[in-house]
Structure 1
Amino acid sequence: MPNDTLSLAARTGQYLLNLLMSAPLFLALMLPYRWRVPAMGWMVSRIIAPLAGYDKRVRENLALVWPELPQTEIDRLARAVPDNFGRTLIEIYSGATFKRHVAGTDLTGPGVPALEEACRTGRPVILVSGHFGNHDSVRATVTRKYGDVGALFRPLDNIYFNRHWEKALSGIATPVFPRGRRGLAAMVKFLRGGNIIALLIDQHVQDGAKLRFFGHPARTSLAAAEMALKYNALLLPAFGVRSPDGITFQPTIQNPIPHSSAEEMTQAFNDRLEAMTRQHPEQWFWVHRRWKKDR
């Protein structure tokens, strides 16, 4: 049902649900930054994840694509994955505080010179990533040095939660574009102007290409590669790797993915993300229903 036609009862239900879901976030924001990040990770991993079934989803996905993992590692990841999610969530909501926290962080990786050259010449850039580490640590770091970084986001069904979620995303970098016809058109216009956009393409897309991820079919959006080809944009895999201390990052820009076909380019990204996830398995969001079977 469209948001502007919601009944009073539906709006009331959404408002109450928003209060319930938002309470942990805004309580955590009252803590000093170095306390709130681990506190939110603990809350999500120990309380919210078991109630929401996140830990069960982690175990199911690992059993499907990484069955050789020892049980002790599976048990660790069932806690560590939602912990990273909780930390990432409160970091995004911390806005200006989070940006000050990463202000001393520099971009690393072999793709940095290519990014600098593209920015110097006005070539469009697509930073492509997944729900890994804290992906917005890359956006915050890139925008500090190279200017605005656009991002596409999916508006949430809960209109009240979506208001502060969109505000939180905008607090990291702007502009942000809601997924949909108008948002996509605005994002393409921004990209064609020689700017940088950031996209996350690690979720199941029903009409996506049947590519491989961890050796299994995983339908993946080709949009990032198709835009790179159409607008001669640089396609750069970028990852905000969380450091062992849990609150600092190493934003990494990998070598550009060469232009070929959209399928080959997107498969190359899947391979890069898989390699990063094998190095840091607790930092990818294993809760996603990434390997849905075709109906």
Structure 2
Amino acid sequence: MAKSNKQKRSHGGWQDRLADYVLRGIIWTALRLPVKTRLKLVGWVVRRLLSPLLGWHKRVYANLDHVWPDCPADKRRVIADQAIDNVARVFIENYDVPELLKRGATAGFGGPGLAHVEKARAEGRPVLFITGHLGAVEGARCAMVARDFQVGGLYRPLSNPFSNAHYAKNMHQICDPVFEQGRRGTMGLIKHVKSGGMAVLLFDLFSSAGETIDFLGQPAPTLTSAADIALRTNALLVPFFGVRHDDFFGFDTILETPIEHGDPLDMMREATRRLEARIEENPGQWMWIHRRWKPERQARRQRKRAAATTAP
């Protein structure tokens, strides 16, 4: 088979520098506006101007067709618009941490898991909060921090190093310790949790190294890292969600009943069921622009595995 002549562009060059200048200009302009106006404007720009260029609506529709093929066309459009609007809001909210902490401090906060978390904190037992890319995910973390929960985390760095510098700064501004995704960062997170700390992990991104778990009715590779860390550190594993109100400005932070320790795969199946329930209740708040399932890649992997097991 002929090799492709296309080479991946290295990051850190003038293209990334130019893109970051543009991004910084957009952020600076948006932050000059009142917060509600800012969120509505950025949502509109991303939804109506950037999404057609990036193909985000098409990606949302493809994902919806994959898991909910009978979803009516008008509902698909609403879900797509809301999901893209939510992504835009999450992005710009992260660049005004004081405002998000202030909003989190007055947001609804509770759920059946709160008493378990309070008990664990009093006993010095570590807590690992687990969630997906739904609603005001960083807002929910800010709501916990505003209530003196010192919640660290793990973040996936941006490919553009210039943009990643200010993106990572915001993650640290919410609450330390924050670790960059990778072996070193994971070990740092484990050490923090093992010492009795609290941390957040998101588990709903595609990972070819993950175990196959049905997500919204279709198989999706899912890492068991959160369950593995909880078992290794004896941490309470607590699903939580920042569910936005109908105005997409206010939100409630909901701490669910902890997931019982056991087989890591079973624990992640339960975490997946919790997230599915929230998505089915608020479908427009999940990040449908992510290629969560990648059915073609999964099919190729299945064929390779089948060929390997049948080979003499």
TM-score range, shorter chain: over 0.9
The runs of 5 or more residues in structure 2 that have no matched partner are: 1-8, 302-312
Amino acid aligned to 1:291? W
CA distances 1:168-191 after superposition (whole Å, capped 9, x unpaired) = 222222221001222112111110
CA distances 1:244-293 after superposition (whole Å, capped 9, x unpaired) = 12111100001111111000000111111111000000000001111023
1:112 aligned residue: 114
Q: CA deviation at 1:106?
A: 4.1
User: Cα distance 1:71–1:119, how it changes in 2: closer, same or farther (>3 A)?
Assistant: same
1:156 aligned residue: 158
Q: Distance in 1 between matches of 2:176 and 2:42?
A: 25
Aligned pairs for 1:177-196 (under 5 A) are 177-196=179-198
CA distances 1:158-216 after superposition (whole Å, capped 9, x unpaired) = 11000010012222222210012221121111101111100010001111001110111
Task: Tell me the SS of whatever aligns to 2:13.
Answer: helix
1:203 aligned residue: 205
RMSD of aligned alpha carbons: 1.5
Report which of the two structures shows the higher radius of gyration computed on alpha carbons.
2
2:28 aligned residue: 26
Normalising by structure 1, what TM-score? 0.94
1:166 aligned residue: 168
Aligned pairs for 1:110-149 (under 5 A) are 110-149=112-151
2:233 aligned residue: 231
Amino acid aligned to 2:174? I
Task: Tell me the SS of whatever aligns to 1:177.
Answer: strand
Amino acid aligned to 2:23? M
1:216 aligned residue: 218
Q: Distance in 1 between matches of 2:166 and 2:12?
A: 19
Moved over 6 A (4+): none
Stretch moving more, 104-113 or 130-139: 104-113
Task: Tell me the SS of whatever aligns to 1:257.
Answer: coil
1:56 aligned residue: 58
How many residues are treated as equivalent by the alignment?
289
Amino acid aligned to 1:181? R
Identical residues among aligned pairs (%): 37
Q: Distance in 1 between matches of 2:145 and 2:20?
A: 30
Amino acid aligned to 1:189? K
The runs of 5 or more residues in structure 1 that have no matched partner are: 1-5
1:264 aligned residue: 266
User: Cα distance 1:22–1:57, how it changes in 2: closer, same or farther (>3 A)?
Assistant: farther
Normalising by structure 2, what TM-score? 0.89
1:72 aligned residue: 74
Q: Distance in 2 between matches of 1:156 and 1:86?
A: 16
User: Is residue 190–residue 233 contact of structure 2 (8 Å, CA) maintained in 1?
Assistant: no
2:293 to 284, 291, 294: 291
User: Is residue 38–residue 246 contact of structure 1 (8 Å, CA) maintained in 2?
Assistant: no
